[in-house]
Structure 1
Amino acid sequence: MAFVMFLAAACVRFGVQRLRRPTVLTAGAVSATLSVSTLIAAVPAWAVAVLVLSAMLAGAGLGMGQPGGLSLLGSGVPPRHLAEADTALNAGGPVPSGILPVSAGCLSDVDGPAGGATVFGAVLTALAVIGGLVVLATWHQVTDPARKPAGNPRPGTGTGRPLQQRPLLPASERPGIRSGTGDRMTGRRH
């Protein structure tokens, strides 16, 4: 089932790469919610086919949520803070990803698999719904590279005007570079 989940995650990325970020993130939240709902239905019934469907939906949610979130991080965080933001995302994500299944397993030991899956599913459903609502509430604030603002031919300049380029100086006039033999970085002659 893990193979099916990651296969679905890889395949769905190709299908959504041209969609707008909010659409991808909302669809990822819906897919995660459907995955958890099918998981809650499958465990008490011991329905393997429904578990495989749940894994496929979870993979689709992962395949949309992870790249959507990373692209938002890349476009919304200043470049000088991008490493810290990426580290926080990569370090903070596995914590709940590890705590939730372990907690569900401990609860399953006490209350049975159906009880553990139901609590696990309820927590994940709540998180997916909250995530989807945040995307819907901030839809207009999300920058989207697929849609470039009118009048801005050079992305990143913010003015719509081309960047001014400095004239290229001859090698002899550049700082640190002298003609003849020598070290090109320091300008020292041998």
Structure 2
Amino acid sequence: MTPGPTSPATVLRGAAVGTLTAALAAAAHAGSGGGLPSGAGAVQLAVLAVVVGGFVVVVRGGHRFLVLTAAMGAGQLLGHALLSASGHHHGAAASGADVAMLAAHVGALVAVAALVTVGELSCRAISRTVRAAVLAPAIRVPAGRAAVFRRCDHPLRSVLQLAASLSHRGPPVGIS
């Protein structure tokens, strides 16, 4: 079974979710003192972005807010695990900064998922409006039958004009 055609809005949603997942993971990593990821960490985040974005494109109900939030949350957890494996570690005990970072992650996830959902709905609504305006059905006017007259009681106008333009005068009588 081959998948059906993918709409441009779905592809844009996947790209936005993947990119924003990696950007949030990198921002959290940098904000917690780990610096911006480079080398293997950056490549791993790029692969994670492609996987999360592709998942949101192909999963059923990927346009819903809860699905987007869950996918981005899983992406954040995987991003944290990937960046931890590349050398970024938090302390064993949860400090106030870790709780603040977790709250910031959750707030950012909810805000980004809401923005992506509203953006896709707006894109679909605008696309439907433009499509309806551009592809408005043409009003068909039924073609009438052309009347053909084969015989009429009065002479044609061109015959009348020709008769009026002819001179009925002959040569002078006295000249011979």
Which structure carries more helix by proportion? 1
TM-score of the superposed pair, with normalisation by structure 2: 0.31
TM-score of the superposed pair, with normalisation by structure 1: 0.29
Larger radius of gyration: 2
